[in-house]
Amino acid sequence: MDKMVLIDLETQDFHVQTGIYEVACLAVEKYEIVDRLYLAKEIPGYKGRKKYGFGFYNISRDALYINKFKEFMQKYPYPIVAHNCSFDRKFLVYYEWLPADYPAYCSIKAIKGADSSLDSYALDYLVRYFNVAGQADHTAMSDIENLYRILKIVQPRTWIPLGTGDLRYYMPRIKPRPLDEIDLAIDTTDRLKDEVICFTGSSRYPRHTMQEIAIKNGARVVNNITAGTTLLVTGLDPGPKKLAQAREKGIPVIADRDFLAMLDLADRDILA
């Protein structure tokens, strides 16, 4: 590939619920670095060794860092490449930094395709084998710079895209936060008091954010149509079952854009 974004995350654990603590990205064109992005929030006074994301705050749901990442990917809309990419991608998809169908490639498979004779394809082994570093530091920027150096040497000819089937387990809905924890840039009101709202389909904001907008305005949210549901808000590709149930029960249905407009949020960035 002539263009790619190399990505490395530090997550402290293998379980996706652990969170994201460091993100490093290199925009690469013809195996030359044209731009870079590093995202992390250090814990003041931390005395331990900073590796695997320790010494940093969890930024997985921080709108500031998510928006910076998305701006970088919009500037460089190239396929992502990571070492053991299925691991990094599951975190990015789970926390909605990237859509599930974003093109993604694994450097392990690409390097193995270029040279199947190596004893190992772990980054620790490869940095020593190709003499690009004494060891892998397991910090995001250092690891991704080492991967870049390795790929520049190997320059794989065959890249196999990752499928999306392995993501199903890692894509549960993120639950909306309680009212006192919601930090969206909107006022708390009672404009939706006594409303019980269900959402369906894809919207401008992730589902949990749409639910938090409703909660901030006094509503209660539900995941399925119930006897007490008073409003169904629909986005793109709404669920046919929810639509049919709403019509059967006589529940009002409105589009997500109209939902935002009636709360005077249609032209505002609530994540700012």
**Residues 258 and 207 reside in one and the same domain:** yes
For residue 120, being part of any structural domain is answered with yes
**Residues 148 and 18 reside in one and the same domain:** yes
The partner residues of 161 in beta bridges, in order of sequence, read 105
pLDDT at 190 over 80: yes
> What is the per-residue pLDDT for 165?
53
Q: What is the pLDDT of residues 48-80, one digit of tens each?
A: 888 888 999 999 999 999 999 999 999 999 999
For residue 268, being part of any structural domain is answered with no
Q: What is the pLDDT of residues 144-189, one digit of tens each?
A: 999 999 999 999 988 988 875 555 444 456 789 999 999 898 999 9
End position of a domain, from candidates 123, 140, 170: 170
**Residues 55 and 159 reside in one and the same domain:** yes
For the chain, give the mean pLDDT: 90
For residue 195, being part of any structural domain is answered with yes
**Residues 197 and 132 reside in one and the same domain:** no
> What is the per-residue pLDDT for 108?
92
User: Region 100-119: what's the mean pLDDT?
Assistant: 90
For residue 153, being part of any structural domain is answered with yes
Range of the domain at 99: 3-170
For residue 270, being part of any structural domain is answered with no
> What is the per-residue pLDDT for 272?
54
What CA–CA distance (Å, rounded) separates 94 from 102?
13
Read off the CATH number of the domain in which 147 is found: 3.30.420.10
Q: What is the pLDDT of residues 224-233, one digit of tens each?
A: 999 999 999 9
**Residues 91 and 151 reside in one and the same domain:** yes
**Residues 188 and 137 reside in one and the same domain:** no
pTM above 0.75, yes or no: no
Query: How many domains does the chain fold into?
Result: 2
What CA–CA distance (Å, rounded) separates 51 from 38?
15
**Residues 73 and 162 reside in one and the same domain:** yes
Asked if residues 16 and 89 have their Cβ atoms less than 8 Å apart, the reply is no
